[in-house]
Structure formats: structure tokens, C-alpha cells
Chain A
Amino acid sequence: MFHHKLNYCIMKKLLYIVLLFTITSCADDFLEIYPDTTLSEGNFYQSQEEFILLANGCYIPLRDIEKNTHWVISELISDNTSFQYNILTGEAVRGVIDQFIITADNRAYSEFWNLSYNGINRTNKLLVEIDRPEVEWSDLAYKSRSSGEAYFLRALYYFNLVRQFGGVPLVLTPISAQEALQVGRVSEEEIYASIISDLNSAIEQFSMATQLEENGRANLYSSHGLLGKVYLTMKEYDNAEKSLKKVIDSNKYSLLGNYEDLYDPSNKDYTETLFSVQYSENSRELSNRFIFMFAPWSSKGSITQRPNINIISAGWNQPTMDLLNAFEEGDKRKDVSIKFWNGPDWDGTVRDIPYTGKFKPPISAPDDRTGDNFPILRYSDVLLMYAEALNQQGKTGEAIFYVQQVRDRAGLEASLAGFGQAQLEELIAKERQVEFCFENQRWYDLKRTDKALEVMTAHGKRELAQKEFLYNSAYQIDPHKLLAPLPAEQILINSLTQNPGY
């Protein structure tokens, strides 16, 4: 009897314990935790809202490329700019590129490469996911616009890559690390074919979403304009002419009356500017700090108007004598583009030190955040490219009209009538040099027009004669340097073929 009672008691007690052990039987719910501060992919793609976010995200790497890197390998490298020497920093990443000492381990190239492919992956991801059937679109035009933006930006990323490196790996869908190991470089032609195809797709998509255009976003005409530039680079002048004409004929864009207004961060331009990288002083992430990089470091706060910001590592993109001399007498653009600061130079001697005038100190930010947009494609560029395409096809007379428009605005109103084809070609090249100085066009223009070696050799001689602090190996102008080296670590990881000479 007693035994039974005892056993019963124990059984009852054990039952309680078993119950306690299984109180949280819904273990899966308990173990399912998603981050509060970020979204995750599982339940992301629901409506157009998400794709607008993804499209916005495709612009972000471009902003970072232009902020830190692109100017080093497309403007500083050219004859337009140099840097103010600094006995304290002796900076070896950017300084060597100015001196045409180009090596595969230079961080500028790896940064540019990584950010470009990061941007490409963002566009690939968007283009793959946007066709999910479950996505609810309240207005399909948003789908077109977002696709158009992705196509446009992918084309732009590849256009920059191919102009720097030549043929690169062509990645058009999201790939895994394992898949990436199988992807090698393709020819320049294939990359250009892909760029043209993307831009045509962009044009197709944007034309279905013209009502959704917004200042700052890529649109139908920026796509036409970029396509024109691509064709021009490929020397397909006929196609270039056609694409660019679409922009001109749209009458949507025009030259600003005053060149200086293009560079007013308080009143950003969308009349002449077809596409620009957008910056804002609102936050560190959104801002650039161009003036804090480009002012002479010895000027401290007097140019940046922020005496509280140390700019010891500034002094970049300093206009060279070559650039200064390129401006014609009376060119109104000179005073806008190039300013002088009178003060001690790197060696303590007081001089008039030139610096880039297109970029302005912050308007309201108390620190080194500036909000100047960075132009990628302007109407004056469209006009000059159009003129060049015409001129190259022998339509010099027709071309002069467009060159004249640009020169008129600069106060160079002398008639160009009577210019021959070669003469106009030379004039357009010079026009482009001064019109777009500090806008990351010069190096590509030199390469495109096959003038790079000639111009850089002359520039190197002048620099070597002027500056005593240059490296011993400065300005060795070898033809192989027209193509940038693939980043050394990518060669190692991905077994890519290096460009010859590196």
C-alpha cells in the first residue's frame, strides 16, 4: 500500500518536472531572431517601395568613387593637375600617380575596382529580382524607371572600368564566390557591346517612365547622352551623332547663361547638367569634401573658411601651368575654374598658389562636409561631343555652330568661321580641356583622341624641370601605362590576366 502511494507521489512530482521542462515547447519561435536595425532578404521584395530603395542604392558606390578615387586616376594623372608638395606627408598613393608612376599595388586602383563591381552587383541584383511575380506594383512606370536606372548605372560603371583597364570580367547577374573564380576577362569590344545594350535598355525603360523623372536621377536623355559618349569613344561618329542629336532636339536642356552658376552648391543645376553625382552637406555619408582635398594644405582655413579643420593632407588637383596656359585670353571660365591664394607655399615662400575654384566651402555644415554635385554629363559636353562627331565625319561647317555656342558663353565670341577640320579638332580638344577641367574628363579625352602619350611626355618634361621634389622615376611615359593595372590582389585571388607591362 505504502509503496504504491509513494510511487504515485513520485510519479506526480515527475510529471510536474516534465511539464517544466517543456514549458517553452515553441522553441523555433524563441530561436528565430532577426536584426532590429537592418532588413534581411527573406521578406524584403514586396512592392515597388523596395525596388525604389534598391535603385537608390545603385547610385551609392558611384558617389564614393567620385568622392575619393576617380579624380586621382582621371584628372590628377593627366596634364591638368598636380599637387602641392608636403614635406611632412610625402604621400605615396596619389602623389605617384600624378608623377605617372603606376603600379598594380596602388590602392587607388583597387578602391576603384572594388567600388565599381560593388555598384555593378547592386544593379545586377535589382535587375534579377525585379521580375519576381509576387511583387505588387501600384504603378508599373516605377518598375521601368528603376530598371532604367540600373541599366544606366551598370553601363556607366562598365564604361569607367573599360576606359581604365580595357577588357574586364563581364558580370551581368549576381554570382557567388565559386562562380566568380570561373569568370575571366573579356575583350574591350564585348564590354562596349554590353554597355551599348544596357544603355539601349535604359532608353527603352526610361521612355515608359518619363512622368517619373526627378532631379538627380538618371533619365532618358542622360542615357542618350552617355550612349553618344560611348560611341564617340568607340569612334563610331555616325552613331554618336544620332544619339547626341536626340538630346539636342529634345530642347530639354540648355546652357546656363553664367558658367559660374554651374558650381553653386546652394542652387544646384539641372538645366545644363544631364547627370551629376549628388552630394549634400546633410550628413557625412552624403557629403563630399572636395575643397578640403583640393585647397593648398598650407592655406589652412583661409580657403575652406573652416579654420577648425586641419587640411594637412590637402593640396591635390592643383592646376598645372599647362592648364593655366590652355585658357585663351578673355576666357571667363578661367577665373571660375582657377583661383589663387596668396600665402606660404610648401617651402615657406609666399606665392600666388593656384587651386581649383569649382568646388566651394560648406554653406552651413560646421565641419568638412560639402555638398557640391559632381557633373558627369553636361549639355556643353553634349554640344562639344556632337560637334566632334560631326567634324570627324567631315561636317566641319555644321560642327562650328555647336562649338561656338559653348565659346560664346565663355566670352570668346570671335567667329570660328573658316576653321578647317583639323583646326576645329584641335580647338574642340582645347575647349574640352578648359570647359571640363577638374571634371574627370581630361585623361579619357587624351586617350580617346590618341593624344595621351604626346601630351603627357611634354607635360612630364615641364614638371621635371620645374619641381625638384619629384621621385627619380617620375614621368616615364611608357605606352603600357595608358591602360591601368588590374589590382594586384585581384590577380592573385581571381587568376585574372594582368595588363602588359605591369
Chain B
Amino acid sequence: MTKYTLYGFLFQMLILNVVLAHTIKAQKIDEVYVNISFDEEKLLNVLHKVERLTEFQFTIHENETYLNQKVSVKANKISVEDLLKEIGSQTALNFQQVNRNISMSFAKNKSRTKEELNQITAISILGIVSDNTGAPLPGVTIIVEGTTSGTVSDIDGKYTLEAETGDVLVFSFIGFSQQKVTVANQTEINVTMREDEQALDEVVVVGYGTQKKEDVTGSVATVNEKTIKDLPVSSVDQKMIGQVAGVQIQQVSGAPGAGTSIKIRGSGSLGAGNEPLYVVDGMPYSSGMNQSLNPLMFIDPNNIESITILKDASSTAIYGSRGANGVIMITTKKGTYNQTNITFSAMAGVQQVPQKGRPNMLNKREFAQLQRDRIDLEVDLRENREATLEDYPEEYRDLDALTGRSTDWYDLILRDAPIQDYNFNLQKGTEDSRINFSLGYFNQQGVLKETGIERFSTKLGIETDITTNLKLGVSIQPTYISQQRANTNLNREDVLGVSIWANPVSSPYYENGNLKPYIVAPQSKYHSAWSFANPLYVLQEMTTEQKSFQNLGLAYLEWSILPNLRFKTSLNTILEASKYFQYVPSTVGGSNRPPIAGTGSSSNTRYNSFNWLVENTLNYDLSFGDHSFNSLLGYTIQRFNGNNINLNASPYPNDLITTINAAQAISSWGEAVNEWSMISYLGRINYSFKERYLFTATFRADGSSRFGSDNRFAMFPSIAGAWRVSEEEFFSGVSWIDNLKLRVSYGKSGNNNIGNYPHLANISAGSYVFGNTQVTGSSVGISNQSLTWEESNQIDMGLDFDFFNSRAFFMIDYFRRRSNNMLLEDVIPAITGFNSQTINQGSVQNTGIEIALGGTPIAGEFNWNISGNVAFNRNEVLSLNDNTVRILSGSNDGNPTHISVVGKPIGQFFGFVLEGVYTPEYLSQPGVVNSPQVYEGNVKYKDVNGDGFINDVLDYTIIGNPHPDLIFGLTNNFSYKSFDLGVIINGQVGGQVMNGLRQTTDNLQGFFNVDRDWEDRWRSTENPGDGIHSGVPKLKPSWGHRVSTLWVEDASYMRIANMTLGYTIPSSLSDKMKVLKSSRLYFTVQNLATFTNYKGANPEGQAANQNNTLVPGFDMTSYPLSRTMSVGINLSF
């Protein structure tokens, strides 16, 4: 069972006017009676009426002109057969029933010549229709071209049909290209349908419903599930990389289970986050990034049926105060009626850290020289003499002995790690019920030793018709995740940080081969590098684990009050429970902090939450004449309750037992309760006139507990219009254009990630003690009663263009998104008693163009599909608050690293401009201000404010921009016979990254190992190096490791994100295996190669403890992205 057949059914379930083709016991047309009367009514409307009154469906193309014929019938009780006969007599049409489906054709009135009559011999043809994997395709319509006689393939893909030699059989099915076969003398015609990548009639999931793609008025993108099916990654967001224009998915960390940062159409918020809203099976699931554990890990990607991305305001406004950053709609699989399908997939592979992006540090000898240089200076400064060998630690005295391999600490803590994924899926459907069951197991060990993640997932979904107009559905989706973490992406003290700057002279092992817990740097009275805990030992001895359980529950009842009036009520729930445990044994030390017995400490967190949502929606469809309406009304109510308890215990007398009871004391503790609730009213009207002029209006009102009572309800309206130019009569002559649609939309959506209680002035409780009596001490916070949601207004103009028989497509969108009332943490004068206050002010604008294009340049046995996308976005801060002209953010040595100012994009890099080193020539100039930091060989920064002195912050300026000029994705799929090859490329052009670890690896004070570039440092007047890299600093504090242009590197990159080679066992072979319907083997490489000038591990790296919005592009000890090579198999029974 491929996804496409499923798609077809989904489509057929939802959209009338299309063949409904189950092999079912349908009623006969002569057994069904209707009350109907009409006078001079259009045939099309009459047929619709019959559809509404009966279970029958007509196979018609609505724009055919014969449907405009007028007919009249008056009858109180008439069988459908008689009715159709009557209509047939008035219109010269023949009708034919296939199951529930009625097709029609013109009665053959063409008189044939005698010869023709003689030649015509009716042949009974039978055959099997299958898809390209060999799986039988049920529900394919087969029509004799030029007639309306035809049939539909059954559950085994089999069909029989009467035709004549020379007739052309047209095989069509949703999601597949039409196939035409001319009948010769054969009696068996087997057809393999080819999937149509850009099927026009695709159904897309939108907020609170589905729509035919051609009817969509907003900017809505879908992800081609087939392209990304076999990617060896753990969550769906990683699969979407490079697939959708304007969706920037940054893999900020390579840790197993780490979250990604997703931005749709840029950053629109300064204080409330920029991550989109995920909606899983109708449940607003989560928004906000969690770098430690990706919330999407809880959705097994194998269970996902479709992904839709809502980008413009007209499609996101229906999600109101949560839609401003775009919406990602995820729909999980359901079963199929009348079918049983069992699939099993398995994937296993190995992950490695590529050589590119690994640190390149001083080797043993070079490091020893640096230590000696430092000591030389110290001896000279303190004792005013030249250093002798005795002043150096013994290890550094003989430089020539320091040859051979230096300790590669980075490599020491990495490994080749396995990854595996298994999924079993059972779908069983009867005429009125369907069930979907799946079991999944995923295991990814980290390329950083002692890290990894394991997932057990299950899904059970049942849907059944209680009566003909009442449908009940229930599903549960429990998932359990166990994750082993290590501290990375934090600072130089984390394991990756240490492994980069660690002393290359020291060995991680004792002579007996045991691991050293703590590395004492070679010591001198004058200077020594930092001592540190062995990072491998830390990884091995320290425990950091998170265990999480989550269940997504869904129950709904759908009631077709009338065929065109449907009511649905549903209950969605998310239950979550997790447990975090960290134990730092006393054998683990820190930088210059040797391990001390009896100092073990633990941290425990228990979390649970329950989130429920009740939704009631009413759908009403109405068509008359050229008008067609589809309307939606809804009322939803949601509540969240989360509770978090944290206990930190220390010290532990020994490390034998790590549970809290063994600790001597609980050193700190806390409990947090978070609650919010929401009541919403929503509505939408889709109107189409002649199927050419489309119009959508949506509305949502959100009432939220997060808003103050004066401001409780937020209104989010939107409108959109589209013009299908290609449907105009004047366009009918242009045959190469299949679809040309112009779209425009405008609307408002919001961002309510403002915290749960910020509008209240809370009374914070502290403690104080009088004598031996402990008391509570309270203080009153600063309130902001008018605090409210952020608001985003967006205009979108787009064009959809399909041409060459839908073999090529082109899509372009222009948008302008302006976010107002932004949530800002405003710095306020300390004399108020507070240093900052949360307010709504300021605005940011994102303007951009998105282009997606692609096609099938070569079709046939060798097939080539290509699709690409590119997005340009310009971000600009339009205003900030009254008393802050700039927002400084980030932190390096107590100084900022980023700045946001009006007129520039959010979060520009901020620091010194490096001009090189002070030279004797420069210093001999008159007028050089002789401050202590001005001496030959020291670092020279630009005096930005021109006061003659170099000062932190005062002489900082904008030194880079983290926002890319454009992002792109390119996907190629080739297939030849049973082989297929897919290549996904993505990347960005422009944009920069700041490597925060350079505060350490560019720090020449001799505490740390430094980048090899520092071999070209200034050493003396005679040996001034490359003029960029300064000498070992003479003064403390030293200037050399300040934020400067040196840290800012180009983040442009192109990545071969995935390459997959697949082989589908031909159906002829699998047929012989009886039970097996299809099978596919593949070999895939994820992150095959990254082309970038960035020297760090990952140009998308982002420190976990830095705000992703205000401190973007700040890479710190990034967990490297691995290259994954794996093989997999998909079996279908």
C-alpha cells in the first residue's frame, strides 16, 4: 500500500464528483427510490441532487458543457434507474452503474460505415493495474476514450472491460499520471501506473479541514512524502530540510534527539520566539524550540501521512494567537477501507563525524613553545631577567623530544555510532471501519561517546461508521523516549569545549592504560595552563538522562446531518510525564578544580503535564449555479496544566548510591506549576465563482488566560482571493498551460508565547531569618496589566503555474510580514527597584520572495524529477521601545556580542573591528595615545568612536549579520526500471556565524590550546607574523580575546543532505513470493558532504544557552553533525 493509493482514497472520501470505487455491495439503481422533481434544471445540479439523496456518485467532469443541458422530471417516488432513463431520453446520455458509481456516456448515434461495422469485434479484456512498486492499485478508473463506458479496478487491481480493437483505454488515478493503451488483439492488458509528482488534484490539509490544491487561496506548501521517506533521521523536521521554500530549518546541534530551529519567513519576534506552531492531527502540539529534546521526537516519522506548511496570514489566521510564525500541520496515518495492508520497514546504519569541521589546534611542540613564550614574559616582568630552562616545567624543556602524535582530545571522545529504525504497520479496513496499528523502535547512539537516544512508539487508530451518517474515531499514540545527554553547545567548560582547548602534551591515560580522571597541567611557578577533567572520563562517569513518556489521544464523532452539513466534535489530549536525572560523581572535577572525594551531587526533575482540547466544528457546503460555498464555524476550548518539581542534592559521601536518599542534604529545590487556558471561536468561508474566482475569509477570536482581563479576547481576521486565469475562456487556446493562478491575501495572526502570568504583579516570596527563626519575606513585583500578544500582519501575493501537461511547475510568492507589539524585556532604570520589565513595543518587518519550481524533464522508463526552491528574506527592526535605542544581547567576558537596532536585522554581531597588531611604524606616529594596551605586537582594534582610546562596548560596532541572503533546496529523483536515486541538496548563501569558542581558542594568555592560525602570531619585531595575529599578551587583563571581526566567519554552505539509492524488487518476482506485495531495498547517506568556508563543526551551530532570536548565529562547542550511512528495507504484505 503506497501513500498514493491512500491519498487517492482520502481524496475520494472527501471530494464528491469523483469516482468512488470500493468493491462493495452497492445497492442497485433499480432498488433505490427517490422523491425528486425539477423543472428546466441544469443537468449538473440534478446529478448533485441525486448524489445527495442517494449513495450513488456520478463520474463527471464538472466543466463539461453537456452538463449544462436543462432537464425536467416530476415524480413522487421514482427508482434511480427510471429517473436516469428519463434523463437519458432528454439528453441522449447512457448511464452505467459500477458499484456506487455511475458513469455516463453519449448514446452512440454516430452511424458507422459498413466496413467499420464489419471490423468491430468486441473483445473482453482483463488485466491488473499496479503501481511502480508492483503493488496492485484498486480504484483506478478505466474508460474507453471518447466514450463514457468504463470500469474501476478492484481490490486486487483487477478489472474486466468490453472494448473493441483500436479503442484507446484511459487509465486514471489520483496521484498518478494518466496512461493510455490502445487495444490491439490482446485480451489481457496489465498496466503499471507512474506516480505523478505534481498532481494537480492533490488534496492539502489546511487548518480545520482539507482543500483541493487548486482551490487554495493562501500560501500553503506540502512536503513530498516519497522524497523524504527513507531519510535516516529521528524526527520529521530533519526530513523537511530543503523541501519547502522559505522554511529555514537549522540543525543547531547534532546530538541524538536534539531540536532544530525552524523559522518560516524569518524572525518576526524579539521576545516571544520564532518557532512555528505544530499541529498534529488537529492538536496544536508545541511551539518553541527545545535544543535538548526535540518535541517532534515523540512523533514517529514512519507514522506520518502528510505534512503541510501554512505560511501566509490567510492560512495561519485560523490559528489566531498562535499562528504568527507559521503553522506546520502533521497528519498521521489512518487505515484504508476494505483493505488489509501490512508493512514492515527496517533501517540500520553507522554515523561518523566528518574530518571537515574538526578543530585544528597547536600540536605538542607548538603548544610547549607557547607556554615557554608566556613564561619568558612573566620572568622578564617579575624578575627582570631572561628565562632559563629551569623556569619551564620539565615537560616543556626539550622541544625536540615533543614530536609524534599530540593528544587529539576531540577525537578521543568521538566514535562511530550505530543507528537503527524499525517500524511495523498494520492497516485493516472493512466497508465501514478501518484500523491502523503501528509499532516502532528507533535507536541512535551518539557520535559523542556515552550519548544516545532510544524511542518506543505505538499508534492505534480506529474509525468506524456507527450509522450511515455518524462516524466515530479514536486513536492513541503512546511514545517513550530515553535519552543520554552530555553537556555540549554551552561553553568552554563542557566536554566538547574542553576537548578542543585541552593540553595536547598530556596523555588521557596512565601508563597502565587506565583513564586519568583529571589532567594536571605541567606546572611552573610563573605560569601554567589550565588543569582540567579528562573529557572522556567525564562522559563515562557522569550521568545525564531524560526519560519521557507522551501520549497523544484523539476521539471524535462526525455527524452528517445532511450530506452537505457536517458536525464534528473532537477531544484531543496530550499526556506527558518525564524524569530528568543528572549525577556528577566526586571523581569528576572541573577546570582547575581537581576532583574531591565526597562531593558528588545530583539533580532530579519530575515533570508531568496534561493538555486537553475540545473542538466543535460545523461545515456547510452549498453550490448553485456558478456559485459554490464552503463554510466552517468552530468553537474550541483548551486547557494546559504542567507541574515541575526539581531537587538538587549534595554532597554524597560516596558515589556508590546515587539516589537522593544517599545524599547528605537537599541543597535546593523548587516546584513550578504552569497553567493556561484558551477559548476560541473561529469561522471560514470559501467561495468560488465559476471555479475561477476564489475567495476565502477567515476569522478567529482567542480568549486566553495569558492576557489581562481588560484585553482578554484577541481578534484575528484574514481575507484572500485567487483568480484561476487558466480557466478563463480566453485562455482555452493556450494548451501548454494547465494551471495559472494568481493569489493575494492579507491577514493578522498572533504570537502568545508571552509566558503564563506576566501581566500579574506577583508577590515573590523569599526567606529571611531572625535569630534562629526562619521567616518568609515578600516583595511586590512590577505589573503590566496591558500586556498582550504580539501581532503580525502579513500580505502575500503569489502565482502558481503548471504547464506542459503538468510536467513542470513554477510558484512564486512575495510577502511582507510586519510584527507589532513585540514582547520586549525592556531595560529600565534601577531606581525603580527593578532592572527590566516586560512590555509590548517595537516592530519588525520581514519582506521576501519565495520561488519553487520543478518538473519532470524526462519521463518514461528512465524518469527524472527535479524540484528546487529558493527564498530571499530581508529582516528589519522598524522600531524599538522609547528609552532603548538598541538591544544588546549575548555575553562574552561580561560584554555583549549582539546588537539589535532600528533599521537593521535582528541580532547583528557586535564587537571590535580587528585591525591587526601594533607595529613600530604605527607607534612612532605622532599623536598615538599611549594607553597601557598600546604596545608593539599587541592586538590593534579600531577606535570606532575616535576618542583615542579603545574601550569595550564604546568602540564596538556591527561586525556581521547572521541572516542569510538566501536559502535554497534542490531535490533530484531519478528512476530507471527498478532503481531509483534521490539527491537532496540544501544550503544558504550569505549570512555569518560567530564562533564563541574563539574567546578561548584565540586566547593567547597560555591557559588554553589555541587554533593553529596562531602559529603566525607576532613573536618579535624581527618576526612579526602575518600582521593579524597578535603576540602573547604582556598585560593582564589581556585584550587579545575580545569579540572581534576575527570571530565572524562566512556561514554560507551547501550540503548534500541526502543521497539514497533504492531498488524495488520487480512485481514479477514478488508475485512469486505470494504473500509479499512489494519490497524495496535502499542505501542512503545523510549529510554526505558540506561545502563551507566555516572552520567550526557546523555553520548552523547555536549555543544552547543563548537566545536563538536575539543572539542568533552564535556557535559554541557545537555537537558535530554526523554523516550517516545506512541500508534499509521496506516490505509490504
**A positions within 8 Å CB-CB of B:** 2, 10, 13-14, 17, 20-21, 24, 27-28, 30-42, 44, 50, 52-54, 56-60, 63, 87-90, 92, 105, 107, 110, 113-114, 117-118, 120-122, 124-125, 169, 171, 174-177, 180-181, 183, 214-217, 268, 270, 278-280, 282-286, 301, 307-310, 312, 347-348, 365-367, 468-469, 471-473, 487, 489-490, 493-494
A490/B769 in contact, CB under 8 A: no
A30/B677 in contact, CB under 8 A: yes
B777/A56 in contact, CB under 8 A: yes
A310/B679 in contact, CB under 8 A: no
Bound Cα distance A286, B770 (Å): 10
Number of A-B residue pairs, CB cutoff 8 Å, is 247
A60/B562 in contact, CB under 8 A: no
Contacts of B832 on A, CB cut-off 8 Å? 117, 121, 171, 174-177, 180
- Check if B515 is an interface residue, CB within 8 A of chain A: no
Bound Cα distance A118, B598 (Å): 38
Count of B interface residues, CB-CB < 8 Å: 91
Extra inter-chain contacts (7) besides given A114-B830, A176-B832, CB under 8 Å: A30-B639, A41-B763, A89-B592, A90-B1036, A171-B832, A308-B586, A308-B597
Bound Cα distance A24, B187 (Å): 65
**How far is the CB of B608 from the nearest CB of chain A, in Å?**
14
A60/B777 in contact, CB under 8 A: yes
Contacts of A284 on B, CB cut-off 8 Å? 667-668
- Check if B829 is an interface residue, CB within 8 A of chain A: yes
A38/B833 in contact, CB under 8 A: no
B830/A117 in contact, CB under 8 A: yes
Contacts of B185 on A, CB cut-off 8 Å? none
- Check if B765 is an interface residue, CB within 8 A of chain A: yes
Nearest residue, chain A, Cβ from B881:
A177
Contact A42 B760, CB 8 Å, known A37-B672, A53-B776, A490-B830 = yes
Nearest residue, chain B, Cβ from A280:
B769
Contacts of A348 on B, CB cut-off 8 Å? 525
Bound Cα distance A457, B780 (Å): 45
Chain B 637-649 against A: per-residue CB contact (8 Å), 1 yes, 0 no?
1010000000000
- Check if B771 is an interface residue, CB within 8 A of chain A: yes
**B positions within 8 Å CB-CB of A:** 35, 381-382, 525-528, 530, 561-562, 565, 567, 569, 586, 590, 592-594, 596-599, 616, 618, 635, 637, 639, 650-651, 664-665, 667-668, 671-673, 675-679, 703-705, 709, 712, 756-757, 760-781, 783, 826-835, 837, 883-884, 894, 932, 952, 1007, 1035-1037
**How far is the CB of B361 from the nearest CB of chain A, in Å?**
21
Nearest residue, chain B, Cβ from A118:
B833
Contacts of A124 on B, CB cut-off 8 Å? 833
Contacts of B530 on A, CB cut-off 8 Å? 88
**How far is the CB of A472 from the nearest CB of chain B, in Å?**
5
Contacts of A367 on B, CB cut-off 8 Å? 650-651, 665, 667
Contacts of A38 on B, CB cut-off 8 Å? 762-765
B829/A490 in contact, CB under 8 A: yes
List, sorted by A's number, 20 A–B pairs whose CB atoms are closer than 8 Å. A10-B565, A17-B618, A31-B712, A37-B671, A40-B760, A41-B762, A57-B778, A90-B1037, A113-B830, A117-B831, A118-B834, A177-B828, A181-B829, A183-B829, A216-B771, A278-B769, A308-B599, A310-B590, A312-B592, A493-B884
Nearest residue, chain B, Cβ from A58:
B777
Q: Which of A92, A268, A301, A494 contacts B771 (CB 8 A)?
A: A268
B772/A122 in contact, CB under 8 A: no
A347/B525 in contact, CB under 8 A: yes
B771/A10 in contact, CB under 8 A: no
B831/A494 in contact, CB under 8 A: yes
Bound Cα distance A490, B834 (Å): 12
Bound Cα distance A188, B433 (Å): 85
A-B residue pairs, 6 tightest by C-beta = A121-B833, A216-B770, A56-B777, A57-B777, A39-B763, A215-B771
B756/A117 in contact, CB under 8 A: no
B665/A278 in contact, CB under 8 A: no
Nearest residue, chain B, Cβ from A487:
B830
Contacts of A52 on B, CB cut-off 8 Å? 775
Nearest residue, chain B, Cβ from A121:
B833
Contacts of B833 on A, CB cut-off 8 Å? 117-118, 120-122, 124-125, 174
Contact A40 B703, CB 8 Å, known A35-B673, A59-B777 = no
Contact A36 B673, CB 8 Å, known A27-B679, A180-B829, A367-B667 = yes
A282/B776 in contact, CB under 8 A: no
Bound Cα distance A13, B569 (Å): 14
B667/A54 in contact, CB under 8 A: no
Bound Cα distance A180, B827 (Å): 12
Contact A365 B665, CB 8 Å, known A37-B672, A38-B765, A286-B769 = yes
Bound Cα distance A27, B709 (Å): 11
Nearest residue, chain B, Cβ from A39:
B763
Nearest residue, chain A, Cβ from B381:
A468
Nearest residue, chain A, Cβ from B666:
A283
A88/B592 in contact, CB under 8 A: yes
Contacts of A122 on B, CB cut-off 8 Å? 779-780, 833
Bound Cα distance A33, B706 (Å): 8
Bound Cα distance A298, B764 (Å): 39
Bound Cα distance A473, B930 (Å): 13
Contact A31 B829, CB 8 Å, known A37-B672, A286-B774 = no
Bound Cα distance A33, B382 (Å): 65
Nearest residue, chain B, Cβ from A493:
B829
**How far is the CB of A289 from the nearest CB of chain B, in Å?**
13
Contacts of A44 on B, CB cut-off 8 Å? 763, 780
Bound Cα distance A117, B667 (Å): 29
B766/A493 in contact, CB under 8 A: no
Contact A175 B637, CB 8 Å, known A30-B677, A125-B779, A308-B598 = no
Contacts of A175 on B, CB cut-off 8 Å? 831-832
Nearest residue, chain B, Cβ from A44:
B763
Contact A33 B705, CB 8 Å, known A59-B768, A171-B831 = yes
Contacts of A268 on B, CB cut-off 8 Å? 771-772
A114/B679 in contact, CB under 8 A: no
Bound Cα distance A367, B780 (Å): 31
Contacts of A105 on B, CB cut-off 8 Å? 952
Contact A493 B760, CB 8 Å, known A31-B679, A214-B771 = no
A30/B762 in contact, CB under 8 A: no
**How far is the CB of B566 from the nearest CB of chain A, in Å?**
11
Q: Which of A110, A217, A309 contacts B770 (CB 8 A)?
A: A217
Contact A34 B704, CB 8 Å, known A20-B569, A92-B1037 = no
B1037/A493 in contact, CB under 8 A: no
Contacts of B783 on A, CB cut-off 8 Å? 41
Contact A60 B766, CB 8 Å, known A37-B671, A88-B530, A469-B382 = yes
**How far is the CB of A125 from the nearest CB of chain B, in Å?**
5
**How far is the CB of A19 from the nearest CB of chain B, in Å?**
10
Bound Cα distance A173, B956 (Å): 38
B770/A214 in contact, CB under 8 A: yes
A471/B596 in contact, CB under 8 A: no
Q: Which of A35, A169, A310 contacts B756 (CB 8 A)?
A: A35
Contacts of A41 on B, CB cut-off 8 Å? 760-763, 780-781, 783
**How far is the CB of A284 from the nearest CB of chain B, in Å?**
6
B592/A30 in contact, CB under 8 A: no
Contacts of A59 on B, CB cut-off 8 Å? 768, 777
Contacts of A34 on B, CB cut-off 8 Å? 757, 760
Bound Cα distance A174, B831 (Å): 9
A39/B1035 in contact, CB under 8 A: no
**How far is the CB of B945 from the nearest CB of chain A, in Å?**
14
Q: Which of B586, B616, B668, B672 contacts A17 (CB 8 A)?
A: B616
A31/B705 in contact, CB under 8 A: yes
B586/A181 in contact, CB under 8 A: no
Q: Which of B381, B561, B618, B766 contacts A57 (CB 8 A)?
A: B766
Contacts of A87 on B, CB cut-off 8 Å? 526-528
**How far is the CB of A290 from the nearest CB of chain B, in Å?**
16
Most buried by A among B769, B773, B783: B769
**How far is the CB of A74 from the nearest CB of chain B, in Å?**
20
A473/B932 in contact, CB under 8 A: yes
B382/A39 in contact, CB under 8 A: no
